[in-house]
Chains A and B, each alone.
Chain A
Amino acid sequence: MSALRTALRVEALAWRRSTVPRLATPLLVGLVPLASIGLVALARSGAVAGAGAAKLADYATGDLATTHLEVAGQVLAVAVLVAGGFALAAAFGQPLADGRAGAYFGLATPRGTLALARCVVVLGWVAACVVVAVALTLGASAVAAASLSAPFGPAAWAAAGRALAAGLLGAGLALPFAVVATATRSPLATVGALIGVVALTQVVVLVGGGAWFPYAVPSLWTGTGGPDAAADVGGAALAITAAVAPVGAGVVVAQWRRLTDV
């Protein structure tokens, strides 16, 4: 436990000083409330016509606050996967690409422990961003609802809970990209894999397999594919999706323990 405490302290300091969270944190926590409030306002303004209006049609009706928080969940489900994937590509791929990983050998703090701490720190950062983004959306939505004398009831709180859970699930789905970064020893190849998985997810959803595909589950569950697609996502699919993070962390720790030719 002492080695893990040391590793967590070291990795947290390194992450705080890293460029990635400095750039990604304001984007992640700012984008979600802005997109949620903005897209719903746009959909209800009548200012958008044609294909844009069709895409925003689901946001044009229904309880205002609940819709805000459903949109927040949909945006978060994708945004945290992309942010987490980029972050893990940098955190695990860069030291292997530039040779710094060689210095992690022969330390009193084992490499596997450092890898686990790195996963925990990056995942903790993404989770904190999710919590702040949902909290800001809740606050902004409450203000918007109050100004329009719209209700802010249990359905809105339930949508907030689902947005929070979808965001955390999406964050966990990023962990396998630490495995890819370690295997390829390249942050760029990892970003390529991330883009590939996002594209693959679209295909899987199109052919109707999304309800069981972990990378599609958070988006579908928050209503991106409509209420029927959301209802198709069951507890088992959510459990499988949640299991991706611990499995990914376990694999990356094993990879770093067995690392050679560095």
Chain B
Amino acid sequence: MPEALLLDDVHHAFGGHRALTGLSLAVAPGEVVAMIGLNGAGKTTALRVLTGRLRPTSGTARVLGRDPARLPVDAARRLGHVVGAALVDPALTVAENLRVAAALHGVDRDRSSSAAGAVCDRLDLGAWAHVPARALSLGNAQRLGVACAVVHSPSVLVLDEPTSALDPRGVVLVRELVRERAAAGAAVLVSSHHLDEVARVADRVLAVHGGRVVGSLDPGGAELERRFFDLVLAADSAGASAAASTRDAA
């Protein structure tokens, strides 16, 4: 099956800092792939490239086979994402934000209220439906952000740290939602620091370090944390050896 999300040998630098150094990954429809990595590993930069927010220095990015920086409307209708700030206006109520998100994602006007209501119930936001978003707690605001990204039932979903501010119940709600989307055939790419959560939600786990994918981990295996650090240390050792060889050759 062709990849719904693809990054191929993507490089990008911010000034002198090399944020992505040949990062490659692919996510197929119906699959949940998680990226884990230390702070500054390049996870969010990769997600920004995939959502069209950052044009990489080199390499290929594709969403449903199209360049995300110039995504046509038919592909955009099938994409949902939360990378950093969500599609939420703090001055609008929860219900208004959901209807606006539905409209901007291409849901017909007569269906936007029902789509907004359904996702509001699904993420248990009904009690705050008429509360301005600016009055929500951090966790409820994060749930609203995720709700706005899935209100149109996307077939491609990109989520950056979607459970970082959530309480245990919120974590379960978002995990179930992600699994439901994947069961419906969506390709889901999630970045996270929470290894336990990653183990529960992902079909595959990619370890990102130094701006590239340094290995793949089985989420079902034991000691995910130890295996992740083994990959990171191996990547650092390989990098140090390569640098030493280069110095010797010079």
A residues apposed to B, CB below 8 Å: 3, 6-7, 9-10, 13-14, 17-19, 98-100, 102-110, 114, 260-262
Of B30-38, B70-78, B119-127, B199-207, the one contacting chain A is: B70-78
- Interface readout for B101-142 with A: 1 if CB under 8 Å, 0 if not? 001111001000000000000000000000000000000000
Q: Across the two chains, which residue of chain B brings its CB closest to A6?
A: B103
The answer to whether B76 touches A13, judged by C-beta atoms less than 8 angstroms apart, is: no
* A262 to B96 CA separation, bound complex (whole angstroms): 25
* Chain A residues whose C-beta falls within 8 Å of the C-beta of B166 in the assembled complex: none
Among candidates B54, B85, B104, residue contacting A109 with C-beta atoms closer than 8 Å: B104
Interface of B is mostly: loop
The answer to whether B51 touches A261, judged by C-beta atoms less than 8 angstroms apart, is: no
**Closest approach, in angstroms, between the C-beta of A87 and any C-beta of chain B?**
14
* A106 to B156 CA separation, bound complex (whole angstroms): 11
The answer to whether B85 touches A98, judged by C-beta atoms less than 8 angstroms apart, is: yes
Known: A105-B51, A106-B76, A262-B53. A17 touches B105 (CB 8 A): no
Interface of A is mostly: helix
The answer to whether B104 touches A108, judged by C-beta atoms less than 8 angstroms apart, is: yes
The answer to whether B53 touches A108, judged by C-beta atoms less than 8 angstroms apart, is: no
* A66 to B52 CA separation, bound complex (whole angstroms): 56
Q: Across the two chains, which residue of chain A brings its CB closest to B71?
A: A106
The answer to whether A109 touches B103, judged by C-beta atoms less than 8 angstroms apart, is: yes
The reply to whether the CB of B143 lies closer than 8 angstroms to some CB of chain A is no
Among candidates A6, A19, A106, residue contacting B81 with C-beta atoms closer than 8 Å: A106
* Chain B residues whose C-beta falls within 8 Å of the C-beta of A99 in the assembled complex: 84-85
The answer to whether B52 touches A19, judged by C-beta atoms less than 8 angstroms apart, is: no
Among candidates B76, B85, B91, B104, residue contacting A19 with C-beta atoms closer than 8 Å: B91
The answer to whether A260 touches B91, judged by C-beta atoms less than 8 angstroms apart, is: no
